[in-house]
Amino acid sequence: QCLYEFLVFVPPSNGSLRKPGTAAVMVDTQHPLTLLLNGSVGDRELCKIQYHFGEFGNYSLVVKTLSTSTKTVSCDLVINEGPINSYLPILFAFLVYMGILAILIVGRLFMKIDPVRNWVYKKLNPRETDRLINSELGSPNTTDSVSGDPTPRLWSTASRQRLRSLDTFRGLSLIIMVFVNYGGGKYWFFKHESWNGLTVADLVFPWFVFIMGTSISLSLSSMLRWGSSKRKVLGKILWRSFLLILLGIIVVNPNYCLGPLSWDNLRIPGVLQRLGFTYLVVAALELLFTRAGTESGTLEMPCPALQDILPYWPQWILILMLEVIWLCLTFLLPVPGCPRGYLGPGGIGDFGNYPNCTGGAAGYIDRLLLGEKHIYQHPSSSVIYQTTMPYDPEGILGTINTIFMAFLGLQVPLYFLAVGYINFSNFLFQGVISAILTKCSKEEGFIPINKNLWSISYVTTMSCFAFILLLLIYYLVDVKRLWSGAPFFYPGMNSILVYIGHEVFENYFPFKWKMQDSQSHAEHLTQNLTATTLWVIISYLLYKRRIFWKI
């Protein structure tokens, strides 16, 4: 439903020289395009062609007048030079990393040889490393049980050791985030979707929020179990939230390298800011309503099907109240010049009827409370929909659903470590909600999946994905121990350092260098994968030196 945009004017042919009029133009290859050719006299539609052009292809649209009396025109699309296979660099990179993985597997087989293993363990001393990283966080003891039944629980871990699957999941989300932030090889599916829909880049932030909620549950239960008072724990929550918000403001305003931050153009929202505020709300709610036995999984549940709901019923009431607020503001708040409940991108979207309504109520609230100069100036909607209004994907209204996402993650330890079995009902219910809200379509649903808005359907869909992926990683890493979690485990242990580091040093060598061909996917992919791999190596070295930056 985009408004037609002027592309190029084709001059008339020179009749005496029989030389056709020509014009050259570059077009987008991400989506199918509709080319509409209008005559210069009377603006009459001559022909319309819909085509999905290939990357670096060369095409000609040949227009001929068949009959001057009837003004019949023919339009033929000719492929002068076929498009390239832009996915070959991805295949090559995949083979390279598979080769590295094969080498590591061979190395692991050598580790099964006693002399080799003893020598390596003596050099690395992994027990000391494990002792250090388990000093603050831990998982509930597997001897705890909901019913006191001494029989082993399904998919239980065997000790109080920190769950490697959580750090692996966090590290996986973080590494994908680093890769897409560095450019993702300039592939469209490694960039954020312009508005409705999902790409790979849209998956990682909600996953990070989800696992943050899981970590909140484990860390609070660990601190309370070790005798910390709620007052002391609350102080730590407030301090950690403050540091996250402060670091976020510094990171998203890179002119700190040029001098003092200027308030005139200071961006207030951001990723770390939203994480900090979400952490504050979810952790405070969990601390406020925590009862004896909930952190160790010893509460008796009258209804097994509701074991993931009943322990959190006060929090559920408050979270649902927040969701009601989100719905009311999104669909009932009057926005000047915009239809009530508008969820579109503005710009040339919706046939250009609402050019200044980007994000509807969400964008309006940010511009009203924060000011246009203090939010993100280059939203992803500007690429396709040519929006001119600033819009922040980490704005105020979307934070409500981020809190909901973290709260869903907070309940995961109860599923894995307390209830005695895996209860899928809650997450299956969320999947049904997603299907209803979206009508299983990208654009036609009641509330489409939208990362910019952090819509409810986006949260329910991402929580389903996150739960299934975490379940798989938990089974492979902590239950069957078929995978150590490497290499994602290492950046997961130093997530704050890796995230801030990759933002601060983004434009410095060796994370970035001048390329010979700025249009080459191969060069971009090489640079982005090299930078991402360097952060994995850095996190691995920090892990081996027992250096962990915690807030």
CA distance 267 to 397: 16
Q: Which amino acid is at 301?
A: M
Nearest to 193 by CA among 457, 382, 6: 382
The backbone torsions φ and ψ at residue 130, rounded to the nearest 5 degrees and listed phi first, read -65, -35
The backbone torsions φ and ψ at residue 386, rounded to the nearest 5 degrees and listed phi first, read 50, 45
What would you measure as the largest C-alpha separation in the chain, in angstroms?
Answer: 97
Tracing tokens 């670091």 back to the chain, one arrives at 247
For residues 109-131, one letter each, b for 16 or more C-beta atoms within 10 angstroms of the residue's C-beta and e for the rest, the string is eeeeeeeeeeeeeeeeeeeebee
Q: What is the pLDDT along the chain (551 residues), one digit of tens a residue?
A: 888 888 999 888 776 667 788 899 999 888 899 999 888 776 788 888 999 999 999 999 998 887 776 677 888 999 999 999 999 999 999 999 999 989 988 888 887 887 877 777 776 665 554 554 454 444 444 333 333 343 334 444 433 457 888 999 999 999 999 999 999 999 999 999 999 999 999 999 999 999 999 889 888 888 888 888 888 999 999 999 999 999 999 888 876 555 556 677 889 999 999 999 999 999 999 998 876 544 444 445 555 555 666 677 888 899 999 999 999 999 999 999 999 999 999 999 998 899 999 999 999 999 999 999 999 999 999 988 999 999 999 999 999 999 999 999 988 765 555 444 555 666 788 888 999 999 999 988 999 999 999 999 999 999 999 998 998 998 899 888 988 898 999 999 999 999 999 998 998 999 999 988 888 899 999 999 999 999 999 999 999 999 888 88
Give the pLDDT score at 138: 40
Give the pLDDT score at 259: 58
The backbone torsions φ and ψ at residue 60, rounded to the nearest 5 degrees and listed phi first, read -130, 135
Residue 374 annotated to the active site: no
- Please enumerate, as own/partner, the contacts of 87-94 that have beta carbons within 8 Å and a separation of 24 or more: 88/522, 89/185, 89/521, 89/522, 89/525, 89/526, 90/185, 90/187, 90/525, 92/522, 93/525, 93/526, 93/529
* Total residue length of the chain: 551
**What are the residue ranges spanned by the domains of the chain?**
1-84, 164-254+264-291+308-545
* Annotated active-site residue in 192, 374, 502, 524: 192
DSSP assignment of 161-204 equals SPPHHHHHHHHHHHHHHHHHHTTGGG-GGGS--SSBS--THHHH
The torsion defined by the Cα of 325, 328, 334 and 339, in degrees rounded to 10, comes to 130
Q: Tell me, rounded to whole angstroms, the distance of Cα 426 from its chain centroid.
A: 22
Tracing tokens 């227009």 back to the chain, one arrives at 63
Give the pLDDT score at 118: 77
Give the pLDDT score at 45: 83
